[in-house]
Amino acid sequence: MKKNKKIIGSIGILIICIILFSVGYFINLKKDNTYEDIFKDYDLNKTEIVYNADKDNGMNEKVKNNMKELDNKNNIDVNKNKMEEESGENIKVDIKGAIKNPKVYALKKGSRVEDLIKKAGGLTKNADTIRVNLSKKLIDEEVVYIYSKGEKSKEDFFNFSQGVTDSSLENNDSKKDNKKININKANKEELKTLSGIGDSKADAIIKYREENGGFKSINDLENVSGIGEKTISKFIDKVDIN
């Protein structure tokens, strides 16, 4: 009986030890898992921070490179414009009157009035477009004046102001240029304005018409000494007999 009590006591102690050991094991296992999760989260956060930092640095570097390229491009454009202006490839023209943004503009050499008007924002609604010569080539230091509808011509102003362009005056000049010379009435100086006609040929034309009662046709000029078909072809569209 006494022996059985000892055996039962030993078994009880063994069971208690097993229980304590199991409890301790599970407690330690839980701690290990907790620490593992902590370190895992730490590593993930650290990795994310490093990644974001690298990404930000990359983006910052990209932005810096883009800004640098833009600065370089702007410097190139500024230097190019400066070189063009210094080399005479650019001209400066002043535009006034019925224009949205009247002021001085820099344009490429060979630009026309149409280019200047576009750069100045366009004509106003009241601009007299009939009196504007859009195809005219511009020159350096020129002033272009755009008339309003019904505005009187400023011939006195334009005659006084050197380098000022008045489209309506130019149109009048064009009409004068298009006026043909009457070879039966023109004087010596008028005849000399024709291409290929100098003093001697002008005198010969006047002499022929006086001796023959004038020219019956333009082709009669071939009868004048020193004037042939080749010479007549140079000005045939600029002369008449009436």
pLDDT of residue 179: 78
- On whether residue 189 sits in a domain, the answer given is yes
**What is the tally of structural domains in the chain?**
2
- On whether residue 190 sits in a domain, the answer given is yes
- On whether residue 6 sits in a domain, the answer given is no
- On whether residue 47 sits in a domain, the answer given is no
Structural domain ending residue among the three candidates 100, 121, 146: 146
Q: What is the CATH number of the domain that holds 202?
A: 1.10.150.280
- On whether residue 130 sits in a domain, the answer given is yes
Domain that holds residue 140: 90-146
- On whether residue 163 sits in a domain, the answer given is no
- On whether residue 109 sits in a domain, the answer given is yes
pLDDT tens for the 242 residues of the chain, in order = 555 666 776 777 778 778 776 766 666 655 555 545 544 554 445 445 544 545 555 555 665 676 667 666 666 555 655 555 555 589 999 999 999 999 999 999 999 999 999 999 999 999 988 888 888 889 888 889 999 988 877 654 554 444 445 544 444 444 445 578 999 888 989 999 998 899 999 999 999 998 998 888 888 899 998 898 888 888 888 898 87
For the chain, the DSSP string reads -HHHHHHHHHHHHHHHHHHHHHHHHHHHHHHHHHHHHHHHHHHHHHHHHHHHHHHHHHHHHHHHHHHHHHHHHHHHHHHHHHHHHHTT-EEEEEEEESBSS-SEEEEETT-BHHHHHHHTT-B-TTB-GGG--TTPBP-TTEEEEEPBTTPPP-HHHHHHSTTEEEHHHHHHHHHHHHSPEETTT--HHHHTTSTT--HHHHHHHHHHHHHHTS-SSGGGGGGSTT--HHHHHHHGGGEE--
Q: Please indicate, yes or no, whether residues 186 and 236 belong to a single structural domain of this protein.
A: yes
pLDDT of residue 9: 66
- On whether residue 21 sits in a domain, the answer given is no
Q: What is the CATH number of the domain that holds 137?
A: 3.10.20
